[in-house]
Amino acid sequence: MHWLAFVEDDIMMVNGSRSMKKYKKHHLKLTLFGKIFFSFLMIALVAPFTILINTKNQFYEKEENEKYTIEIEYPKLKNENVVKLTKEYIDEKKQEFINEIEGLDNSENFQYDFKTSYEINEDDSQVGVHLTIFEYTGGAHYIREDKSYYYDKAYAQLIDITDFLEEEDSLDKLSNLAYYYVMQYSRDNNLGFDSEMVKLGLGNDPINFEHFKFTDKGLELLFPPYQVASYAAGEVNITVPYDELVGVIKKEYLKNISINDKENQITKRNLKEFSNKKLIAFTFDDGPSFNTNKLLDNLDKYDARVTFFVLGSRVNQYSKTLKKAHEMGNLIASHTYNHKNLFKLDKFQITSEIRDTNDAIKKVIGRDTFYLRPPYGNINSDIKKLANMYTILWDLDTEDWKYKDKMRISNYIVENAHDGAIVLLHDLYETSVDGALDAMERLKKQGYAFVTIEEMALIKNIDLDREKSYHSFSN
C-alpha cells in the first residue's frame, strides 16, 4: 500500500537514469493512510521534547520531564582536584535524589526539583568552594544542603578551619565569638533566636564551622538553615572582626590589623615627662555615674589621668560622661555588662557579658578596649581565653564601697602608695571621688604621677600578656 506519491514535471531521462533538469513545480501528495501515519510520526517525534529536556556539558546539566527537574551548575575551576571532589559530591546527591523520588507516591502530581549553585573563593595558596543544593521532594519547602571544600595548593590536600587556627583551644574561642555575633545578628534583625539552639549549633566541632572565608573586614562564617535557627530565618551570615581574632586565627590570615596592641594604644600626653617619677594608677569600677563628672572636672589640677572599668549596662545612660573621659585621655576599660560572677556563668554567657560591654564602649568612644577587670576579681585561665583581653586586678583595695569615708580612703591610699601600684575605687560614690582627689593632692607633693593602666605599661616598657593577671606594675 502506497502512502506517499511524488509528483514532478519536466523530467529528462539521461543514459537510462532519471535526472532532474528543472521543475515548474514539485510537491508531496499524501494518501489518506499517509496522512494518518505522518500525524502519528510527528507526535512521536515532537512529544518527547515537550516533556523531556536534556542539556549537558562540562559545567552545566539540565534534565526535565513531567516528574522532575534537575539543574546542576558544576564549579568552573582550573584545580582538577577540587573539580573532581565537587563533581563526585553533586553526582552522589543527584543519585540520592532520584532514588528517593522513585519510591514516593506523588498523588498530587507536583514536580520534584533538584538544583545546585556554588561560590568560589581563591587566592595564591588556597581554593575554597561552597556548594548549595536545593531539593524539593514534597512538603512545605525545599530542603537545603551545604558543602564546602578548601584545598591547599602547596601541599595538595584538603584543609578545614582548624588549619587556620593559632592554638589547640582556638576552636573553643571561635565558638564563643560566633555565639556572640549570631545572637547580635538575632537582636539586630529582631529574630529572637533560641540561645540553646545557637549553642548546640556552634559546639566545639570543626564541622560547625565548615563554611567560612576571609574578607577585608574579618572572618565571615555562614550557617545554613537549621544550624543555629529555624528554616524561616534563612542562612545566617556573621563576620568576626580581625581584632577579635588575635590569638585565635594564625597571624598571617589577620588582615588590616596590627598584631602589636601598642600601636593601637593612644595617649594625649608626653609620657617622657613621667619617666623619672613614681607612678600610681587610680582605677574606678562600676560606673559611669553622676559622680564621675566631678572626678573629671578636677583631674587636670593634678595632671592626672585614670582608668575607668565600666559596666556595659551603664554606658548608654552616661555616654556623654564616658566620651568626655575618653577625650581627656583617660582609659576606658571593661568591667562586664551586668557585674555577674563569671564563675557561675557558662562560656557563652561569659562571652556575652564581655563582648556586649566592649561593643557598648566602642559605640561611644570609637575605640576598642583591650582591658578587663572581672567582677569580684574572679578569673581563671578558661575565662581569660574566652575574653582574650588583658586582666587588670589591683593591689590597693580602699574598700570605699564599704566605709564611704573620704579621709579613710585618702589615708589608706597615701599610707600604702608605691611605684607601680593599682588602686581600686568606685566612682559611684562621691566619697570615693573626694578621697581619691585628696590623695592625689598629697601624693603629688611626694613626687607621684597619676597615669592610666595603659600609660603605666608603656612607660615601664611592659609587654602585657593576655594569659596573666596584673595586680600591680611594681618592679
The residue from 172, 285, 400, 434 that is catalytic is 285
Q: Left if phi > 0, otherwise alpha if psi is -120 to 50, otherwise beta: which for 332?
A: beta
On whether the CB atoms of residues 372 and 358 are closer than 8 A, the answer is: no
* Long-range Cβ contacts of 53-61 (<8 Å, 24+ apart): none
CA distances from 249 to 166, 274, 355 (A): 5, 37, 18
Distance of CA 12 to the CA centre of its chain: 85
Sign of the four-CA dihedral 288, 290, 291, 296: positive
**Residues 457, 454: Cα–Cα separation, whole Å:** 5
Distance of CA 15 to the CA centre of its chain: 88
Whether residue 285 lies in the annotated active site: yes
Largest CA distance in the chain: 137
The residue from 211, 326, 335, 426 that is catalytic is 426
Whether residue 326 lies in the annotated active site: no
Quote the cell numbers at residue 467.
594569659
**Residues 42, 385: Cα–Cα separation, whole Å:** 75
**Residues 184, 221: Cα–Cα separation, whole Å:** 14
> Which stretches of 195-307 are DSSP H helices?
195-201, 290-298
On whether the CB atoms of residues 185 and 120 are closer than 8 A, the answer is: no
Active site residues: 285, 426
